[in-house]
Structure 1
Amino acid sequence: MRGLDGLRGLAALYVVLFHCWLYTFPGYPDSSAPAWLDVLMFGRLAVVFFLVLSGFSLAISPAGHGWRSEGIASFLRRRAWRILPPYWAALAMSLAISWFVVPASHYGPPTGASILVYGLVAQDMFTAPTPNGAFWSIGVETELYLLFPLLLFVRRRFSAAVLVACVTFPVIAHGLMAAGASPVEGANRLTPHLAPVFVAGMLGAGIVAASDRVQRLPWGWFAVLAALPVVALGVIQGSVWTVNHYFWIDLALAPAMTMLLCRGCHRQARHPRTAPDRATRPESRWFLLQSLSDPSADRHGRDPPGSPAFRLARPAHVLVHAHPGPAGLGAWRMAVLPDLRDALQAEQILENHDLRTAERLPVVRALLLHRPQVQLRCFRSGGS
Structure 2
Amino acid sequence: MKSPFRPIAKQLLAAALGLCLTALPLAAFDTRAEAAFVLDQGTNTVLLSKNAEIPLPPASMSKLMTLYVAFEALRDGRLTLDEQLPVSAHAMSYGGSTMFLDTTDRVRVEDLLRGIIVLSGNDACVVIAEALSPDGTEAGFARYMTKRAQELGMNNASFANSNGWPAAGHRMSMRDLGILAQHLIEDFPQYYPLFSEENFAFDGRAPSNTRNRNPLLGLGIGADGLKTGHTSEAGYGLVGSAVQGDRRVIFVISGLDSTKARAEEAEAVVNWSFRQFAKKIIAKAGIPVARAEVWQGAEQSVGLVPQTDLEILLPALAGKEIAAEVVYSGPINAPISKGDPLAELVLQPDDLPELRLPLVAAEDIAAGGFFVRIKTAAQVLSKRLINGPEATE
Q: Which structure has the larger Rg? A: 2
Which has a greater percent of strand? 2
| TM-score greater than 0.5 by the shorter chain | no
Higher relative contact order (CA 8 A, sep 6+): 2
TM-score (norm 2): 0.28
Which has a greater percent of helix? 1
